[in-house]
Copies of this chain bind each other. A is one copy, B any other.
């Protein structure tokens, strides 16, 4: 499982406050904590209206001073991407290209010029997909156009577009089914989700996020933007990899056990006992 840490996102209040006060130490602490928790890449989102290019560049430089991980530039602003991409020390990912004509045409040249990985979000001009078929058609169109343009399958992370299950009972199972069908149709392509969207509006969001990730891993999901500091989520990933035969002889599972990563987090247990 390729885990992309989600926490450095300027639409989150604490990050936005840190960005606005140029609190590099706080951002770097969040970056370090995600790296230590096992993130293999960090998402950085500088989505503050009117200031996105400047903020994204500051975040990229600030985070890279603290950790050695590649970055996933999370922006719908091609100008912000163009300014931030040359600053990346390691090969970055763009989050995301989609099937809106304007977005596609603006992002593809950046993918090519900077040789990035790219999240291909199953969303078109009509907005978020409501049906399974919408997701599959958009996925096929995106993968076919990206590969025709010379992007390697191995650099494409198809995101079936996770919507809150509180807003439609089929949103979860359509994404699960889409992951399975996309993996079957394009062997070698990756699939990824923005995990926490699924639980928006419901209680016990971490439980839903953890269970949804496992449901999707069962269908072939191999990447996710999620919170690596959620210890239970990480424990579920170790368990799922062992159970799905992706961790031969349970080597990683047993290592995680010895390092204490499979137990409940001591702080939350203490909190619950109070």
Contacts and interface: CB of A to CB of B under 8 A. Distances in A.
A273 B263 CA distance: 12
Contacts of A212: 239, 243
A1 to B, nearest CB: 12
B165 A242 contact: yes
A243 B262 contact: no
Contacts of A214: 211, 214-215, 218
A257 interface: yes
A24 interface: no
Given A240-B211, A243-B172, A243-B173, A263 B204 contact: yes
Q: Which of A173, A211, A263 has the most chain B CB atoms inside 10 A of its CB?
A: A211
Contacts of A170: 245
Contacts of A155: none
A208 to B, nearest CB: 5
Contact of A176 (B208, B210, B244, B253): B244
Interface stretch (A41-49, A81-89, A264-272): A264-272
B250 A165 contact: yes
Interface in A103-156: none
Interface of A: 165-166, 169-170, 172-173, 176, 198, 202-204, 207-208, 210-212, 214-219, 235-236, 239-240, 242-245, 247-250, 253-254, 257, 262-264, 266, 268-270, 272-273
Q: Which 7 A/B pairs are nearest by Cβ-Cβ distance?
A: A269-B272, A218-B218, A172-B243, A211-B239, A273-B273, A270-B273, A215-B218
Given A204-B257, A215-B243, 18 more contacts: A169-B245, A169-B247, A169-B250, A203-B254, A203-B257, A204-B263, A207-B239, A208-B243, A210-B239, A211-B214, A211-B236, A211-B240, A212-B239, A214-B214, A215-B218, A263-B272, A264-B268, A268-B269
24 contacts: A165-B242, A169-B250, A172-B242, A173-B244, A176-B244, A198-B243, A202-B242, A202-B250, A202-B254, A203-B257, A204-B235, A204-B239, A204-B263, A207-B239, A208-B239, A211-B236, A214-B214, A214-B215, A215-B215, A264-B269, A266-B273, A269-B269, A270-B272, A270-B273
